[in-house]
Every structure is written in C-alpha cells, then in structure tokens.
A and B are shown apart, each in its own frame.
Chain A
Amino acid sequence: MAGPGGDMQWCFSQVKGAIDDDVAEADIISTVEFNHTGELLATGDKGGRVVIFQQEIENKNQPQFRSEYNVYSTFQSHEPEFDYLKSLEIEEKINKIRWLPQKNAAQFLLSTNDKTIKLWKISERDKRPEGYNLKEEDGRYKDPNTITGLRVPVLIPMDLMVEASPRRVFANAHTYHINSISVNSDDETYLSADDLRINLWNLEITDRSFNIVDIKPANMEELTEVITAAEFHPLQCNTFVYSSSKGTIRLCDMRASALCDKHSKLFEEPEDPSNRSFFSEIISSISDVKFSHNGRYMMTRDYLSVKIWDLNMENRPVETYQVHEYLRSKLCSLYENDCIFDKFECCWNGDDSVVMTGSYNNFFRMFDRGQRRDMTLEASRENSKPMQVLKPRKVCAGGKRKKDEISVDSLDFNKKILHTAWHPQDNIIAVATTNNLYIFQDKVN
C-alpha cells in the first residue's frame, strides 16, 4: 500500500489483553495513542487505567522480526468519583490520551475522563541512594553513640524502574462530558472540549482556563447540536476546528478574538435529498476529526463514511470513502440496539497517504488516497500467528454470496473497532477490539 505497486500486505505482530471471552467491563479499551516518535503506545480503558507499551530496540540480526511493543508502565489514571452536588457518578473511563512533545528525558501525557484532565509524567530511574548514618540499609536503627563520622549517601545502579506521577490536575472546568483534548503546537497550551464548550488551558496552570467556544443556548430547550470533537491545527497555533452532531465542522481563528463563538470557516456538505431518512441527522453526526500531519487537510468520520476536507474548500469534501455502506439498510436495527450512536475514530498514516478507521465484526478499513483503493481487514484470534499475513475480507451486501464473502446479516455488531492508531512514521498500526489490542505491521519482503 505504501509502495508504488500498492501490494503492501499487513501481517500480525502482537495481541495484548486477556484471551477468554469473558470481558470485564473495566478492561474495555477506550482510547489508543502513539507518542510523537512512535516509540511508545498508550491505551486507556474503562477502568481508568493507562497502559503504556514501549517498542523494543530493533534486533539487527533478524530484520523480519521487527521490534515488538512490551508493557513499559501501567498506572491508575482516574478513579470513579461521585459529584455530591449533582448526585452524579463520574466514571473513571479514560476518554482520551494525548502525548506532549518530548521536552526532556521524561515523557508526558494528558489523560481525561468525563470531567478531569490529568498531566502525567512517565520517567525512568536506574539509580538508588544507599547509605544512612543512623540506620542500617534494612531499616534497623544504629545506636547514635556509634557514629564516628558522617556518611553521604551514594547512588548505586539498580534495575530500571518506570514511574508514572501525576504532575497537574485540571479539574472543575467542564459541566458536560469531555470528548476531546488536543495539545497546541505552541507547546504551552491545550484545549479540552465537552458537549457545549471548549476551554483553553496553559499546561502549567491548573486553576484557570479560558472558555473559547460556548454553544450553550440561553434556553436548553433550544439546543439543537452538540460539539462532538475538537482538535488544534498541527502547525498553526491559532487555528482549531470542532465538529458537531449536525455534521458540520467549524474552523476558528484565535487571532481574531479571544472568544471564538464566531467561526471563520464552516465546512458542510449539502445533504443528498435522495438519501434523506429518519436517520439522516444521526448518521451525519461527526464522531472524530483529525488534521493531516501536514495541516493541509482534515478527516472527519461520520457513521457510514470518512471524508477528507481541504482546508481551503468549505462547501464539500475532496474525498469521501464509504466505510460500511451496506449498513444503510440496517439502520433501523442499529438504532434499536443503540449501535448507531457508536463513535468511531479515524487516523492518518505517517505521510497522510492512507487513512484508517474501524467498523463492526472486528473489521477495520484502510483507504489509499492516491490509488483510490480500499481494504477491509479483520483483527481476530484466528489469524494471530506471528507474521501471519492478514487476508482482506469482503462483505456481501445482498444478492448471491460469493466464496470468502461474509453476509451482512452475519456481522457481529457487538464486536466493533472504535479506536485505532497509526505509528507516526512506520507502517505499524494499533487496533483496539473490545478488550484486546492488536498490533499489525507491513510485511517486510
């Protein structure tokens, strides 16, 4: 897919998480994110935990076995809480993780649940101090009278220890549920978005944030749309976008004014009247928005499609990819089982030439923008032998089912891939099924 021939094949690399079918609620993966070098991969789950995997140093002798990701650090980021004023439970589920650009030897990430954002430092320690004056190393106290000289502790090498420590807690700024956080390219601020508001924070200041977007109507009965996702432009520190449940994306310029309720660009595709139905508005709701690495394009995911927009063209997307068009006839049952409200995320590959997003039945889709080719792959235990090549899957939308095709009716809607991530440079992808994290990579010939 990356090469000119476009014959890139994906093969299985690793799977993380429990094997048995009995899934504990807390183990359900709720977000996946590579850091800026791709050396670290973080996942968050419904139990409020963050697990970080580190890529092992590549083994030069066996190029076909590329570096694997192993657990580097696991920590409890959020705990369940109770808001006594509003009688509301606050789930510990990690909604989003965002890595900060590396500033020193330690790594930093932001994690958020519905209400509170935390800044975590992940650092290594390979030395420990040794030597007390008044006690032995094992803690027994010495007789103070035996002290004849002073001893300064010395640092001695020890096994590598990875520590995660909370550095900042950004709380009490969101009335509604936080759906997005995004770090600004100025390295000092980030935004957090909930259903109706977007706040701007300085990474060093926790007691103050600036409200930059507020779409809450004076009368909540007049509420017609909510913010579903928001992201900063990767290069221009003053530009950010937010998407709405009505399928529009607004681009705001913070240079124009401190409050960005007035957008500077509105991206919206006119609705196709022939496709209008009861579900039109629900399925046009945007579940994720991501800028391309070069900042020229942005990608949005709605229920049935992925759209690529050129920032210079507001009236329609430059590319539209159908993710699972065959579900259009199933919307009624998907509405009944609430699947229609699933929030699928999407991601770009390192050079913005391919995009990836998830679907049902543990399928995930890739679209090659240059060659207009698409591919359906499956994350499953069946093809999880080392370096096993993933076979493209096909769903048959009706009519006669060919060999190797899967009928729409046999898709399992409980198995869904909502969160995926692509290594920032290499062809390594991380795909979260319910409670497993699959890592695939391109086949090295």
Chain B
Amino acid sequence: RQLRRNGGGGADGDDSLYPIAVLIDELRNEDVQLRLNSIKKLSTIALALGVERTRTELLPFLTDTIYDEDEVLLALAEQLGNFTMLVGGPEYVHCLLPPLESLATVEETVVRDKAVESLRKISQEHSPVDLEVHFEPLVKRLASGDWFTSRTSACGLFSVCYPRVSSTVKAEIRQHFRTLCSDDTPMVRRAAASKLGEFAKVLELDYVKSDIISLFTALASDEQDSVRLLAVEACVSIATLLPQEDLESLVMPTLRQAAEDKSWRVRYMVADKFSETFVSLQMYLCFNCIHSVLTIWLSDLCLLCPVSEQELVSDTNQHVKSALASVIMGLSTILGKDNTIEHLLPLFLAQLKDECPEVRLNIISNLDCVNEVIGIRQLSQSLLPAIVELAEDAKWRVRLAIIEYMPLLAGQLGVEFFDEKLNTLCMAWLIDHVYAIREAATCNLMKLVEKFGAEWAQNTIVPKVLGMANDPNYLHRMTTLFCINALSEACGQDITTKQMLPVVLKMSNDQVANVRFNVAKSLQKIGPVLDSNALQTEVKPVLEKLATDTDMDVKYFAQEAISGKHFTLINVNKLKMAIIKSEMHFNLLVFTVLVLA
C-alpha cells in the first residue's frame, strides 16, 4: 500500500531523490570509478541536501574518508575549494577546514598540494575575524603537527593569512615559519625553502631584512643540497623586494657561495636561474658582481674543457655548461650592446665551438635574444661552421635538433644568407639515411616556404625536390612525394597543378610498389589544392589505373583515394578546419567532388 501511494501520487517528488540517492550510495561503492564519479558530482549532492545537512552530515563523513584512493582524494580536495556557497556562503566557509585539514596530511604529494591550493582559495573567503578564529589555528596545528606531511602543507598557507591578521598573530606566524625553516626533516625544510620567496613578498620590509635574509642564508647553506638549491630559487623574489643598496651586502654573498657550491646540482640551479636572478638584481648597476660570478662559471665552462676527454669529468661539466649556455644568451638584453660585445660575445663564440653538441644547440636556439641587441651578423662567421658541424653530426638526434631550429635561423639570418650558406644543408637532409631526419627535413621545407613565400619556393626548392623524382634510390623518390605532400598547400594551386602534379603522375609508373602507393596517397593529399578540372582529367584516370595494380597495397590506397573513405573518416575534421580557416569554398567543392567520385 505504501508503495502504491508513493509511486502513484508522485506528489512527494521522490523521483528526483533517486539519482541523488544513487550518488550518495556510490560514495562508498567498491568500484573506484563510481566513487570518483560521485565525488566529482559532490556539488549536486550538497545542493540536494541543503546547506545545513551538508555542514552537519556530508562534511563530517568526508573528513573521515581519507582512506580512499589518491585519485578520489585529489578530486575531493579540488571540489572542496569551490564549496563555499554550498555550505552557506562565506559565513560558514570554515566548515570546510576539517576535511581539507585531513587531506593536507595524506602522504600523496599531489593530494596534499591540491588540499593546500583549496585552503588558500577559501582563505580569501574568510572574514578577518574568521581567519583568526578558524583559519590561523588550523595553520598552527598543521605547522606543529607530529608528521612532516602536515608541516610541509603548513608552509604553503602562511603567506595567504599573514597580510590579514593582527600584528600579534603576525609575529606568531613569523615564528612558525622560522621553526619550519630549521625543521629536522629535509622534506619540511624543502617546503619552507620553496615558499620562502612567496612569504617574503607579504612581509614588511623590515622583517624581510631581519627575518627572511637570515633564513635565506641558513637554507642556502643547509647540509642537504636539495634544500640549498631551492633556496637559490627564492633568491629571485627576495632580490626584487630589497632596495638596491642592500643587495650587495644581503644577497650577493649567498648567491656567490651558491655559484661555487660543491654540488653540481646547486651550481646547475644557479645557472638555470641565472638571467632571471640577474634581471631582478638589476645587475647593470653593479657590473663587477656579475663579472666575478661569470668568472666562476667560466671555470665550469672552459677550464674543464681540456680534461673533458675523460667522459666522467665532462659529465658534470656538461650539465652545467648546457644549462648556462641556454640562459647566458638572455643576459645580452640586460647588458646592452657594448657589454655584450665586450664580455659575452667571446663566450658565445667559445661555446659555439664547444665539443658538446647540446651546448652549441642551446646557444643557437637562443640566438633571437642576441639578434635583438647586437644583430646576428656579429656571430654569423662563427655560427656557420657550428651549424654545418651540427648538421653533419654523427648522432641523428643532434641533426634532428638543428633542423628544428632552421626556420628560426632562416628568419634571423634572412633569405640571402640562407640561400648562400644553408640551402644546400636543407636539401642534403632530404637524402639522409635516417627516416626521422628526412621527415623533419620535409617539414622544415614547409616552414621555410611559409616564411619566404611561394615564389622563393618555386625558384629554389621545388626544382631540387622534383629533381629527386628521378633518383635511382627509391627512398629518395619517395621523399619527393613526401615533400610535395608538405609543400602543396604552402605553394598554392598554381605551382602544385603545373609543376608538382605532372611529376607525381609520372611516378605512378615507378617499378617500386612503395612509390606507387605513395603516389596514390599523395594524390589524395594534394587533391584539395588542385583544381577540379585537373582532378577529373588527370588524377582520376591515374588513380583508376593504380586501383587495378598487381600489388595489393597499391590497389588498396588507390581505392582509398578514389572512394575518399580515408578522407571522410580521418581527415574530415582537419579539412573542415582548413576550410573554415581559409574560407575557400573552392576546397569544399573539391572535397565534395572527391567524396562523390
């Protein structure tokens, strides 16, 4: 009877409860996916329960669910950051603290970080009173917790509550931070070191000088290198806070010490943060300092070079050197033209001759910075041999890397220099014995054409590419096809129809089956660029002939091209994009023709 009444009446609106009931039950389902799904819809559950029951029932339950899988906890931590309205607005936002507090102590770093992120978010929604009554005590509890997971989480919360609390509480917070900076556990000291810069930013300048600098100095000379290197990072933000006259006395000694650290990892970090740090230090005002630090780096760079024959020694050296090479270029913008030419140029030139390809690559990949300051011509004499050498390096990955910088270099050096010196290199890569290089070379050509225009392509690239169609090596003949695939769009309809298409069509008679089926693929690929007349009169007959080929693969790809199946299924999206982008209705027409054909 009960049944009928409920079912029949429908007045209770119970039907709407059912999906929520399922979601709630699945919070404790055995299947992780279902639990995860429920947690992700936590707001729906909370909405149905109302703010009161969310606070009194749902949140207590969630607070104790920290046994769950990481992914569920991660989702939970994230959800709770957006829960303020669902617990009744900012007035009740502190109800979210208990579950986030327990999530901030789990062992999994990603979950903890997310919980801290959510805590930081909801801290903004606390009123100043609530912040002192609820939030700050939580930070203290975490900071003085037994387990280091909770203490690491505390490190990320100081900076968000510090600006909004009374001066007594501020003093307590500073004290807590100091304590954590000298925690027994390296994990906690690392967390404190990584938040040092952030905390310094919210502190009053006097405390930056009195507190932060001493903490920074202590962390930068920590016994653990993993702590020291994080302190180096903090240096960047601390330096921006201090007045110019204090930098030399308060920051430089520590930084210099870090640059000379015994551990290669710390030196590496200084090298990595080099230009960033020096921008903030505004070093053009105290050039002497930069010079002394640079000297230390130079020792890493140059002094070890003679012994680097021994692989073991060069190992450290190599990491540091390539990190330095990648940032040293950035310095030129800070130092200005004259200083760059005087101090950095010799360094660049030395590095361009370095025996480690990575160092050379890093210099070349950052050329744009130097170009802005002194113009690339200053370097081009040294640059060319370096590029040529990399281009012919025995390791194909090195060759691949330099190819990727070619378009950039071409842009920097200009079309003239390129034609004169680099064009032959680009063409040589097309017949490299490693496929990845040939492929990258093809792609490179496309980018070059995009840069220098279709006319340039017609005069310099296309003849050479098409010439390869008669190469005795079938791999090179195939490269011609790949190039045509890549270039057709950039070159435009005219060049494609008049110059490329005849070559492709001629190659349909190649005696190697691989070439023939690539002809079919190419025709399909360049189809959209061709005019419909050429498609009907020239392409279609060839495809039909290939469709009767003796080779199975050739037949298959020819039929694919004819039916346009491949086209419609896989490339349709790409095509649509292209159509929308160029707004060429013509393409649509061709597309339709091909589909219909």
Contacts and interface: CB of A to CB of B under 8 A. Distances in A.
Interface in B12-65: 12, 14, 17-18, 20-22, 24-25, 27-28, 48-49, 53, 57-58, 60-61, 64
Nearest to B18: A144
A155 B64 contact: yes
Contacts of A262: 312
B225 A148 contact: no
B147 interface: yes
B148 interface: yes
B224 A134 contact: no
Interface stretch (B259-267, B387-395, B467-475, B535-543): B259-267
Contacts of B7: 145
With most chain B CB atoms within 10 A of its CB, the pick from A135, A163, A255, A261 is: A255
A256 B317 CA distance: 10
A417 B190 CA distance: 41
B105 A259 contact: no
B185 interface: yes
B332 interface: no
A147 B18 contact: yes
Contacts, number: 128
A146 B21 contact: no
Contacts of B28: 129, 132, 153
A85 interface: no
A257 B264 contact: yes
B554 to A, nearest CB: 36
B423 to A, nearest CB: 40
Contacts of A254: 263
A57 interface: no
A186 B186 contact: yes
Given A102-B147, A255-B265, A129 B61 contact: yes
Contacts of A146: 2-3, 6
B149 A103 contact: yes
Contact of B187 (A103, A238, A259): A103
Given A129-B61, A134-B25, A259-B315, A104 B106 contact: yes
B165 to A, nearest CB: 27
Nearest to A129: B28
A187 B316 contact: no
A391 interface: no
A9 interface: no
A145 B107 contact: no
B109 A153 contact: no
Nearest to B186: A186
A333 B21 CA distance: 74
B25 A255 contact: no
B224 A258 contact: no
B186 A185 contact: yes
Given A150-B20, A150-B49, A258-B264, A132 B25 contact: yes
A154 B263 contact: no
Given A152-B49, A237-B186, A237-B226, A259 B21 contact: no
Interface string A143-185: 1111111111111000000010001000000000000000001
Contacts of B60: 154-155
Contacts of A238: 225, 263
Contact of B61 (A153, A163, A237): A153
B224 A237 contact: yes
A153 B61 CA distance: 7
* Interface SS of chain B: helix
A186 B107 contact: no
A125 interface: yes
A186 to B, nearest CB: 5
Contacts of B109: 204
Contacts of A187: 148, 185-187
A153 B24 contact: yes
Contacts of B58: 152
Nearest to A236: B223
A152 B262 contact: no
B30 to A, nearest CB: 12
A104 B64 CA distance: 15
A80 interface: no
B134 interface: no
Contact of A152 (B61, B147, B265): B61
Contact of B21 (A147, A186, A235): A147
A153 B21 CA distance: 11
A148 B3 CA distance: 11
Contact of A256 (B17, B21, B264): B264
Interface in B302-352: 312-313, 315-316, 319
Interface string A75-116: 000000000000000000000000001111110100000000
A163 B6 CA distance: 43
Given A104-B106, A152-B53, A167-B107, 13 more contacts: A103-B149, A127-B64, A146-B3, A147-B14, A150-B21, A154-B61, A185-B224, A186-B186, A187-B148, A255-B261, A255-B263, A258-B264, A258-B315
21 contacts: A102-B147, A103-B107, A104-B150, A105-B105, A132-B25, A134-B21, A147-B17, A150-B17, A152-B24, A153-B27, A167-B107, A186-B186, A188-B226, A236-B223, A237-B223, A238-B263, A254-B263, A256-B262, A256-B264, A258-B315, A259-B312
Interface of A: 101-106, 108, 121, 123, 125, 127, 129, 132-135, 143-155, 163, 167, 185-188, 204, 235-238, 254-259, 261-262
The 9 lowest CB-CB distance pairs between A and B, nearest first, are: A133-B21, A255-B263, A257-B316, A152-B57, A104-B147, A104-B149, A187-B187, A145-B7, A257-B315
Interface of B: 2-3, 6-7, 12, 14, 17-18, 20-22, 24-25, 27-28, 48-49, 53, 57-58, 60-61, 64, 67, 105-107, 109, 147-150, 185-187, 190, 223-226, 261-265, 312-313, 315-316, 319
